[in-house]
């Protein structure tokens, strides 16, 4: 297998998609010229003589690829091809190789593990990770579906994001299925982020970022608005999905490595496959957006974002891992957050926020990318009909 062809590998994902060539270079359209609404195409004027060989007055002008843009484009958004962003269509096709439902993964052993094998500290970790994740994925769904998708002005971008919206809903179903299967008290679990400050801190930061760009009619021809939008997209794709989610599954993978809560962990491995693509796609979109708009993200704003995200993650880790569990603790969690943050920064082309951070959990990438392929077929409880594409290469 050619390692560069993997799309489930965090470092390879953006590398692969970067390799896909654009059909045309970015169009030299000014911000002001691009401010026109993108929804409707131009209709050519009727001819004056109305002769039989005159152009059809209802005919529309062909789509010009050069008119397509990430935002503020002028091309008809209802016409898929010609592609300007073929890599976005590739993401959609790849996403359809990871189709599952949580009902297909056995949870019986998890019920026994949770009630009879986990220590109090391990139950505390497990419950709070689920409590955080389930609220987070609803936020992720609302961000893409309500704040981001409507601002995209090329259909190949929106189509992948439509799939992403579905996947975030599927993730929420997955957490609910785990919570329900194990018999956790729903009223208590779902309200936990509201009463635990250390969980609420991460949700509140994401909510603030979302509120800045959620309003419909946000004028992206305005450079300040455009920068705010790019910064929010950066936060959700690079930090929220690329760091917090990636790192957020890890405490449960630590249990899995000891043979505990393997059903839940397998569910999370499927979710992680989706999140790999969400992060890689978001990074690609942001890079293209910045290139098209000849814009750079304000390094001071980025620094603030990283610092705020790290502080929120540190508080969260201190709460969920107030007592270390076998093989995992809060220091490892934060070290790994900083290491992954540097990786994301390199992928998007900005300065590493935490120079010198070390790979504290070298098994994480393997857990995320390789081991699950072995475990997948060992633990699958039903015939898998839709996943012929789950061979990863
Ligand atoms: Fe998700
Ligand atoms: Fe996601």
- pLDDT (tens place) for every residue of the chain, 393 residues total: 333 334 444 344 444 333 333 333 334 333 333 334 444 555 454 444 545 567 777 788 888 999 999 999 989 999 999 999 999 999 999 999 888 899 999 999 999 999 999 999 999 999 999 999 999 999 999 999 999 999 999 999 999 999 999 999 999 999 999 999 999 999 999 999 999 999 999 999 999 999 999 987 899 999 999 999 999 999 999 999 999 998 899 999 999 999 999 999 999 999 998 998 999 999 999 999 999 999 999 999 999 999 999 999 999 999 999 999 999 999 999 999 999 999 999 999 999 999 999 999 988 887 766 444 444 444 443 333 344 333 332
For the chain, what are the domain ranges? 86-382
391 DSSP 8-state letter: S
DSSP structure string for 287-299: HHHHHHTT----H
Distances in Å between the alpha carbon of 37 and those of 150, 229, 264, 389? 12, 18, 45, 38
- The Cα angle at residue 192 between residues 188 and 197, in degrees rounded to 5: 155
28 alpha carbon – ligand 1 mean position (Å):
35
Tokens 């594409």: give the residue.
Answer: 389
Q: Any bridge partners for residue 380, and if so which?
A: 105
Q: What is the pLDDT of residue 49?
A: 52
Q: What is the pLDDT of residue 8?
A: 40
**Cβ density class 273-282: b for 16+ within 10 Å, e for less:** bbbbbbbbbb
279 alpha carbon – ligand 2 mean position (Å):
7
302 alpha carbon – ligand 1 mean position (Å):
23
Dihedral of alpha carbons 33, 34, 36, 38, sign: positive
**CATH architecture under which domain 86-382 falls:** Orthogonal Bundle (1.10)
283 alpha carbon – ligand 2 mean position (Å):
12
The encoded tokens of residue 289 equal 């957006």
Surrounding ion ligand 1 within 5 Å at CB are: 137, 140, 168, 171
In Å, how far from its chain's centre is CA 348? 14
Surrounding ion ligand 2 within 5 Å at CB are: 140, 241, 275, 278
203 alpha carbon – ligand 1 mean position (Å):
14
Q: What is the pLDDT of residue 98?
A: 84
Q: What is the pLDDT of residue 58?
A: 78
Q: Any bridge partners for residue 105, and if so which?
A: 380
136 alpha carbon – ligand 2 mean position (Å):
9
Q: Any bridge partners for residue 77, and if so which?
A: none
Give the integer Cα–Cα distance in Å for 247 and 271: 13
Give the integer Cα–Cα distance in Å for 275 and 263: 19
Comparing CA positions, the residue from 197, 92, 199, 216 lying closest to residue 151 is 216
327 alpha carbon – ligand 2 mean position (Å):
27
273 alpha carbon – ligand 1 mean position (Å):
10
Q: What is the pLDDT of residue 298?
A: 97
């Amino acid at each position: 297998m050619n390692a560069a062809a993997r799309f489930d590998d965090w470092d390879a994902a953006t590398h692969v998609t970067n390799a896909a060539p654009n059909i045309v270079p970015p169009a030299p359209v000014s911000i002001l010229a691009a401010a026109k609404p993108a929804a409707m195409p131009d209709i050519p004027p009727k001819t004056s003589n109305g002769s039989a060989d005159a152009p059809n007055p209802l005919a529309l002008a062909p789509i010009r690829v050069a008119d397509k843009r990430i935002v503020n484009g002028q091309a008809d958004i209802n016409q898929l091809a010609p592609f300007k962003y073929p890599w976005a269509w590739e993401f959609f096709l790849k996403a359809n190789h990871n189709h599952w439902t949580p009902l297909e993964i056995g949870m019986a052993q998890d019920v026994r593990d949770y009630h009879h094998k986990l220590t109090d500290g391990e139950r505390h970790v497990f419950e709070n990770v689920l409590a955080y994740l389930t609220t987070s994925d609803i936020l992720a769904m609302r961000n893409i579906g309500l704040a981001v998708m409507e601002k995209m002005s090329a259909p190949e971008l929106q189509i992948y994001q439509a799939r992403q919206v579905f996947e975030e809903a599927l993730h929420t179903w997955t957490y609910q299925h785990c919570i329900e299967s194990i018999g956790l008290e729903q009223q208590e679990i779902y309200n936990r982020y509201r009463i635990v400050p250390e969980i609420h801190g991460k949700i509140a930061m994401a909510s603030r970022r979302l509120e800045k760009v959620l309003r419909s009619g946000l004028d992206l021809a305005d450079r300040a608005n455009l920068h705010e939008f790019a910064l929010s997209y950066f936060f959700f794709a690079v930090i929220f999905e690329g760091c917090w989610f990636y790192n957020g599954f890890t405490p449960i993978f630590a249990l899995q490595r000891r043979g505990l809560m393997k059903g839940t962990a397998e569910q999370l491995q499927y979710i992680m496959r989706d999140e790999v693509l969400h992060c890689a796609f978001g990074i690609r979109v942001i890079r293209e957006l910045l290139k098209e708009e000849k814009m750079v993200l304000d390094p001071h704003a980025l620094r603030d974002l990283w610092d705020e995200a790290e502080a929120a993650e540190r508080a969260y880790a201190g709460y969920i891992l107030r007592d270390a569990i076998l093989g995992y603790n809060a220091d490892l969690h934060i070290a790994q957050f900083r290491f992954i943050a540097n990786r994301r920064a390199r992928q998007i082309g900005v300065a590493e926020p935490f120079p010198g951070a070390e790979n504290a959990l070298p098994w994480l990438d393997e857990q995320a990318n390789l081991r699950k392929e072995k475990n997948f077929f060992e633990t699958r409880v039903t015939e898998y009909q839709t996943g012929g594409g789950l061979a990863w290469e």
